Structure 1
Amino acid sequence: MGKKVVVELPGMVKLPDEEVERRVKVELALRLYEKGILSFGQARRLAGLSKWEFVELLAEEGSGIHYDEEELENDLKVVEEIA
């Protein structure tokens, strides 16, 4: 089971009570992914979104998907193995 964090939001945050938890999880997932603290899969699970929903969210936020040379090499190896 994961860790539970209790956060008291200031009154200036205007969100309906039923939307607060989901919105905080999505924002946290985005920022932790952008900083490289969470992987794509971890971040999308934290946000409670499908892969495609998270990709769309990243596009809306102007963020890209992290994809480095090592990941490219791994993908090329997989393609060679199945070809």
Structure 2
Amino acid sequence: MQITLEIPDEMLQGKGLNEREWLQEIAIALFQQELITLARASRIAKMHQVDFQKLIGSRGICIHYDVEDFEEDIRHLEERGWL
């Protein structure tokens, strides 16, 4: 599924957020509500995952990284031959 979000130019001008900041805020909100994973939030925000972690950490937001996330990361690394 692909979602297209149109933001009026007037919301992007002045003291409003630019496109990158909008994407970051959307990703943070979805992640904080545990609707998407850290990896997916990072992709939505168009940021490296470590940079996204730093961003949410600077806001005091918990990373929500549990055993299931760890196991999924291990599977992905194994699939890519990195382990």
Q: TM-score, normalised by structure 1?
A: 0.68
Asked if 1:56 corresponds to 2:54, the answer is yes
> 2:3: which partner in 1?
3
For the structure 1 residues 12 and 50, does the alpha-carbon distance in structure 2 shift closer, same or farther, using more than 3 Å as the test? Answer: closer
**Percent of counterpart pairs with the same letter?**
25
Runs of 4+ in 1 over 2 A off after TM superposition: 7-13, 67-72
Encode CA deviations 1:20-39: one digit per residue, 9 max, x unaligned. Answer: 11110000000100001111
Contact 2:12 2:18 in 1 (8 A): no
| Whole-Å separation in 1 of the counterparts to 2:20 and 2:11 | 17
Mapping for residues 13-32 of structure 1, pairs under 5 Å: 14-15=15-16, 20-32=18-30
- SS for the counterpart of 2:18 is helix
Unaligned runs of 5+ in 1: 79-83
> 1:47: which partner in 2?
45
Q: TM-score, normalised by structure 2?
A: 0.68
Unaligned runs of 5+ in 2: 76-83
Q: Point out the structure with max Rg over C-alpha.
A: 1
**Cα RMSD between the aligned structures?**
3.0
